[in-house]
Amino acid sequence: MSRRARFVWFWLATTLIVAFSPVASLAAGESIGGKLIQTVGEEKSPVEGVTIVVSLEGAEVGSGESIADGTWEIPVPGSGIYQVRLDTTTLPDGIGLTDPTKEELDEVTVREGQAKKVIFPLGEGTVSSTSAYERVGALLISGLKLGAIIALCAVGLSLVYGVTGLVNFAHAEMVTLGAVAAYFFHASPAGPEWPLVIAAIPAILVGAGFGWAQEQGLWKPLRIRNTGLIAMMVVSIGLSFAVRHIILIIFGGEPRAYPDFAGQPPIEILGISVVPKNLITIGVALLVLAAVGLFLQKSRAGTAMRAVSDDADLAESSGIDVNRVILITWMLAGGLAALGGIFFGLNEAVQWDMGFSLLLLIFAAVVLGGLGTAYGAMVGGFVVGVAVEMSTLFVPNELKTAVGLAVLILMLLVRPQGLFGTKERIG
């Protein structure tokens, strides 16, 4: 092969890597891999989504996540002695290393061309639900927890839709931004390292500020230009895509956990073992949602919001400052989404695309309750959360998001205006 030809091949390969980076990493060559299996008594089950980091002389050379069947594989640059570390913060609740000192294996020798296998034995960290009652109870709790998070995020999306008619696809990034901001104030060495409970306050303000900035800098000027709704939705998805990747550049691709409340030991309630932070998530979310409900019913701004949502022109002619109401709605939506994001990060992990992965469930909740209805979005959130978690009794865990889509499509077929919506909204 001539140099030119080799060059062309090299170029071909790099273009493909650029275009489809996850594919190329599976190419042959030296690698370290294994299979994560949790053993509880006689039962063995694969563990998904656990991050494993490979380093060479202290410098990270690669990382990967275990997939659905528990396997993981990380390509390494060549033969040598590597350190392999299992990121214990990414272990699901209730699963731990059988030998906690074996978090890092520091002399893993890889020969030329070898696909080295290493083992991290996993056992029950603390929990093992075995009876059907315990299993259903635990799923119900985690469903309510997921539902609380979805509901917090969905209310804002629905309110914004109500007052502006726009489905904001960048809502997912408000969720991520809240979680990432909380991480900055809480755990980043560059930040003030406040406790999470305190760090949540500026993070929510950052979320509200993002909502304010979006409305003032983008959506209001577009409304003044009379931009069509389809064009606005395209703009919102462009914004979502840009912000998501800016977060990726700044925050990095690794999932990270908040140090506070990590690895909380579960407590037992009515025979069901529950991690206290799940209960706190549900409780705080319910309080906040009740406060939002009161705000909408009793306060002047809330009443104005509902009026604009009903009929913007009529509201304007009766003296309501519509632009101000829309601005308040955006800030409220941003703050609620940020709070939802913090809870999501607390219970799972903070990651650059966490909001996008939640977006489908948020949409399902909003459509279920009825686009534009705040209370519908709350109820929809809890229904979707519980339905998705409970569905794992019947479908494999990795397909549970598909249940969200099924709920969405079924609802559109049966009652497109949603549980609480009115007919004229839909079309």
Partner 1 sequence: MDWGSVFIDGILATIGPVTAAYAISAIGLNLQFGYAGLLNFGHVAFMLVGAYGMAITVDFGGPLWLGVIVGVIVAAFLGFLLGLPTLRLRADYLAITTIAAAEVIRLVARSSWAEPLTNGVFGIQGFADSFFSINPFPPAELYGIGSLVVTGRKLWVMIVGWTIAALLTLLIRRLINSPWGRVLKAIREDEDATTSLGKNVFAYKLQALMIGGAIGGIAGMLLAIEQQNVTPDAYLPQVTFILYVIVILGGAGTILGPIVGAVVFQFLFFTIDALMVNTQANIDWVGDLLTPAAAGQVKLVLVGIGMMVLMVFRPQGILGSREEALIDER
Q: Which stretches of the chain bind partner 1, using CB under 8 A?
A: 1-2, 4-5, 8-9, 11-12, 15-16, 18-23, 26, 67-69, 167, 169, 222, 225, 227-231, 233-235, 237-246, 248-249, 252-253, 356-357, 359-360, 363-364, 367, 371, 396, 398-399, 401-402, 404-405, 408-409, 412-413, 416, 425-427
How are beta strands 80-86 and 51-56 bridged, if at all? Answer: antiparallel
| Distance of closest approach, residue 200 Cβ to partner 1, in angstroms | 27
Q: Following DSSP, what letter does each residue of 27-66 receive, concatenated?
A: SSSSEEEEE-EEEETTEEEE--S-EEEEEETTEEEEEEE-
Tokens of 199: 């760090």
Instruction: Give the residue with the Cβ less far from partner 1, 204 or 359.
Output: 359
Looking at the Cβ atoms of 120 and 219, the one nearer to partner 1 is 219
Nearer to partner 1, 322 or 365 (CB): 365
What SS3 state is found at 10?
helix
Query: Nearest distance from residue 6's CB to partner 1, in Å?
Result: 11
The nearest distance, CB 61 to partner 1, in angstroms, is: 13
Instruction: Provide the sign of the torsion angle of the four alpha carbons 85, 90, 94, 95, taken in this order.
Output: negative
Give the residue with the Cβ less far from partner 1, 19 or 270: 19
What H or E segment, with its residue span, contains residue 316? Answer: helix 312-317
Nearest distance in Å: CB 284, partner 1: 28
Beta-strand pair 71-75/31-35: antiparallel
Nearest to partner 1 of 234, 314 (CB atom): 234
Is the CB of residue 65 less than 8 Å from the CB of residue 32? no
Asked if residue 91 lies in contact with residue 8, where contact means CB atoms within 8 angstroms, the answer is: no
Query: Distance between CA 161 and CA 304 in Å, rounded?
Result: 15
Minimum Å gap between C-beta 373 and partner 1 is 14
How many whole angstroms separate alpha carbon 175 and alpha carbon 172? 5
Which CB sits closer to partner 1, 68 or 290? Answer: 68
Nearest to partner 1 of 303, 397 (CB atom): 397
Residue with tokens 């506070």: 260
Nearer to partner 1, 163 or 367 (CB): 367
**Least separation, in Å, of the C-beta of 24 and partner 1?**
10
Residue 165 CB, shortest distance to partner 1, in Å, is 9
For residues 154 and 416, what is the distance between their CA atoms, to the nearest angstrom? 17
Q: Which residues contact 78 (CB under 8 A, 6 or more apart)?
A: 30, 112
Of 22, 54, 23, 76, nearest to 120 by C-alpha is 54
Smallest distance from partner 1 to CB 362, Å: 10
